Each structure stands twice: as C-alpha cells, then as structure tokens.
Amino acid sequence: MKKGFTMIELIFVIVILGVLASVAIPRLAATRDDAEVAKAATNLTTAVSDITAYYTAKGNFNGVTSDFTKITNALTKDGKLKVKGTVECVSVTLPGNTTGNQQSSKVQLKLTFTKDDAVCKQLTKLPGILAMCGQSDKTELSNTTCDIQVGGSGGIQF
C-alpha cells in the first residue's frame, strides 16, 4: 500500500485554505488601513505640537514658511501629510505675517483635509482630530478646513 494523500484529501485542504484566505485577506487590509490612520493622526498631532513649540520659542514663522522640515519631520517640505507613501491627506498652511500678533490677535494654523482616500476620510472622524479642530461635538469634520490657534491671546488685552 502506498503512503500519501488521496486526491479528495488534497481538494479538501485547498478548499479550506481558500476559505481561510477569503476571511483573512480583507481583515489584513482593514488592519493595515487602521494602522495608517493611527500613524497619520500621530504625525498630524506631532506636527501641530512642533509648529506650536516653534512659534512659542521664536515668536514668528519668518524663514520657514517654505520649508516645513525646519520645524517638524512629520510633514513634507511643502507642508503635506502623506499616507501610504504618496497620498496627500492634509495640507498645513502657516499664517502670513505673524510679527507683532502675539498680543493682539490669534495666530492660526490652517489644516486642509482631503477626503479622496479611505484613510484620509477616516482621519477626519477621529475624536482627537475633531477636538483639535474645535469640533468635538461632531462625528466628522463639517468642512475640509479647520483653524488651530498656535499663538497670540485671541484679542485679550492686558
């Protein structure tokens, strides 16, 4: 008698592997997207923290508005947050002239979100991002832009 597997046993093994693959592959893709969303959220909050710290230390953004890598490594040189290597999710815009604004008005950073990619769309639904944009009472950003105060007193005079 020969040792080995019968054809029917091999077919069953192939069918079982196919069923496992049909369940595991979509879950793997979803897990990968969840990781990208978490990484993007971390990079965005890091960038905002770095920009705020830079403004607190220097008092202005002179000389760095065209090169964000002088402030933070979380963004590209032109102020874009990319996911999956090439997809631009968020564009960060620094305020224009900040000289003298520290005491009289808000110095605001503008975030512009794109919702073309699933990861980018999910980023606009995260509670931390919503809170950072002042929309913590919502389940998704109500528009594609939000302003974040990084300096100034908001008009409070002493």
Tokens 């220097």 — which residue?
Answer: 58
Structure tokens at 151: 């300096």
Closest CA to 33 of 111, 113, 125: 125
- pLDDT digit string (tens) for 88-138? 999 998 886 555 544 445 678 888 898 888 888 998 899 988 888 888 888
Question: Which secondary-structure segment (H or E) carries 46?
Answer: helix 7-58
Closest listed residue to residue 96, CA positions, set 51, 58, 52, 62: 62
- Exposure of 141 in the CB half-sphere (CA atoms within 13 A): 24
Name which of 15-19, 81-85, 96-100 the model is least confident about: 96-100
pTM for this structure? 0.76
Task: Give tens-digit pLDDT for 31-72.
Answer: 988 999 999 999 999 999 999 888 888 888 887 878 888 888
